[in-house]
Chain A
Amino acid sequence: MSTESNECTESPCKESCCGGAKLGHVYGSLILRGWLAVRAIQTGIEKYSGLKATTQLVKVDGVANEQGLAADAAKEYALAHYHGVPKGLYDKFLTEPMMPKMMLPFYDKVLGPALIVLGLTILLGLAYRTSLFLLGGLYISLTWGLILIKQDDGVSWLGVHMILIVMALMLADQNRFSILKKW
């Protein structure tokens, strides 16, 4: 029976002091980093998704139908499809007196690229802490918008993201495989 303790006895933590617990923290940090990065990157990429334009009519018994029924739409990604804030929400925000109307188009333009860039910097470990902090700031801005239009489910959902970011920041000391550890 081992008598070795897994508790870290050094402060600040030194790699040699706590064995297995340290490895758990490293793994925890990596999977959290991966999750937050994938969440941000793919959410940003999806803002460039749309339906592929098609007017190809469905053939019935070998003949294009006269009623105008078209083949089912296929998804594709293109710069032309970019939509930062979904149109339904955008229109709701426009009617909100507290929403700065001049800022909305700017926010709409930068939201997608910001999510992709921050997701990539988190994935690559580039200024990891600062990237997490900025992603948290972005989620706060989204939360504020959803509070305005009373989307309480979305607010709760973003709250979970915030908890994960805080956990990632707490585990940041154990982070590995980073391009730029500073910041």
Chain B
Amino acid sequence: MNPEPSNLSRRDFLSKSVATAGAGLVLGAPNILRAANSSSEDTINVALIGFGKQGDVLFNCLKNIPGLHFQAICDISKNSQNKFRSASRGMPNAEGAKIYMDIDELLATEKDLHAAVIATPDFWHSPHTVKCLEAGLNVYCEKMMSNTIDGARAMVKAMEKTGKLCQIGHQRRSNPRYRFTLDHLINGKKICGQIINANAQWNRALGSSQDIGGKKLAKSTIVPDDVLNKYGFKNMHQYLNWRYYRDLSGGPISDLGAHQIDIFNWFLGGAPKSVFASGGHSYFKEREHFDNVMAIFEYDTPQGNVRAFYQVLTTTSSGGGFWESFMGTEATIKISEISSSSAIYRESGEYVPSWDDLVNKGYVKKKPAPPKPDVSAGAVASYESKAPEVFELPGDLPVITLKSGNTTIKPAHQPHLENFFAAVRGKAKLNCDARHAFESEAPIFYVNPSALSGQPIVFTPEQLSV
């Protein structure tokens, strides 16, 4: 069962606002102003939990969303706390934000919060989300939901028990390009015909896969050992590189793969029936997780059987980085968060209906034909299919004006955050609540076990259910 879309009622807003204004009268003029600033009916008081690299990415999107008041942040690193101070300088809606090291203290002190945005390491996602939901906050939590499937289950249960909103950060689910592709091209016009295969990759270059930190850390970045130990890290290397440790994350297949395997499940309309994976410590031999993983998922869809191949490589960026591809009898849609990595290929042949009408009505745009391959260069021409025609989506994310006056294409995470806050205001339904995210993420938890055992795993309903 999904929670109600609106969890922040007008009454909630007014009661919390009156309480805040009262506190301002007691504490003095600056607090009155701050209370007034945060008590507008449309204002949502937000706590940022975790302000590392991803927290910063989300904050750069949150800055562009009107009506948010950044009331408190929580991070165990003084360096990250200073980064927030620097990033929020000059922002009236972040002025006076209280900074905490401990989330329990934050939740015990800040009583008029409406929402929390969580961007902590994966192994903290579930405890932090559950705490915030139980404290009455609506939660936006980064993916992967948890480093364990039980942690993810706890998040779904907490969301449904509290009735609060919980959006998981699979941001492609709110991306206009992905939504347009699914709604209009795959489901609406069925331009792919029967989808028989899917293929996706995240190939990351060696240079981008190195350990963070190095041998000598700047003094300002060091978190004391007692603090690290209290929050589950053995040392600074583990704190900075938690993605490489089995107890702290699911490794590259969940860190990078979760985004794209989610697209398999979303576009194909359900979870796979099995997974067969292979992985290796092919280059980074000291790391606990596989550095390269390949997985094949099998689906039963209303159209028929589909095989989806996914690879995450941390030793090469070849093949164009990251994208997902859905291959049908009549067309293939290759899509990515990067529009230049996306294309739509129409099969040539009389059995494929003309797309002239689709072009005229604005569903797709035709791209110039690619150069013809040189058949004299060794290929046996008669065995080759005729090159498909290439098309593209008719638009992109909107261009927005930043407070600095500069313009930019709307950052990829922003539509998903906008959807979350619209849902908090009761004006939208979440695009990826915790239950739907769980249904999509559950199969990912079985990729590493399949690779470790070298055996395929055929899912039981219990394995994929809360």
Contact = CB atoms under 8 A, between A and B. Distances in A.
- The number of chain A residues touching the other chain, given as a range, is 20 to 34
B contacts with A: majority SS? mixed
A179 interface: no
B399 A58 contact: no
Contacts of A70: 176, 395-399
B401 A68 contact: no
Given A67-B183, A69-B177, A51 B408 contact: yes
Interface string B387-425: 000000111111111000111110000010000000000
A contacts with B: majority SS? loop
Given A58-B362, A60-B361, A72 B396 contact: yes
A52 interface: yes
B266 interface: no
A51 B394 contact: no
Nearest to B361: A61
A54 interface: yes
Contacts of B183: 66-67
B180 interface: yes
B407 A53 contact: yes
A108 to B, nearest CB: 12
A121 B68 CA distance: 49
A51 B406 CA distance: 8
Contacts of B405: 80-81
A73 B409 contact: yes
Interface string A74-114: 00000011010000000000000000000000000000000
B409 A65 contact: no
A72 B395 contact: yes
Contacts of B179: 67-68
Nearest to A81: B406
Given A58-B395, A60-B394, A67 B363 contact: no
A54 B398 contact: yes
B399 A68 contact: no
B184 A65 contact: yes
Contacts of A69: 176-177, 180, 393-397
Given A53-B407, A60-B362, A68-B415, A73 B393 contact: no
A73 B177 contact: no
Contacts of B176: 65, 67-70
Interface in B352-403: 361-363, 393-401
B395 A71 contact: yes
Nearest to A54: B399
A181 interface: no
Q: Which of B363, B395, B396 has its CB near the most chain A CB atoms (within 10 A)?
A: B395
A83 B183 CA distance: 38
Contacts of B407: 50-53, 80-81
Contact of B394 (A50, A52, A58, A81): A58
A55 interface: yes
A92 B37 CA distance: 35
A114 to B, nearest CB: 20
A5 to B, nearest CB: 52
A176 interface: no
A50 B395 contact: no
Q: Which of B363, B396, B398, B409 has its CB near the most chain A CB atoms (within 10 A)?
A: B398
Given A60-B362, A73-B409, A53 B180 contact: no
Nearest to B392: A72
B406 A50 contact: yes
Closest 3 CB pairs of A and B: A80-B405, A70-B398, A68-B176
Interface of A: 50-55, 57-62, 65-73, 80-81, 83
Given A58-B395, A68-B176, A81-B405, 11 more contacts: A51-B409, A53-B399, A55-B400, A58-B394, A62-B361, A66-B183, A68-B415, A69-B177, A69-B180, A69-B396, A73-B396
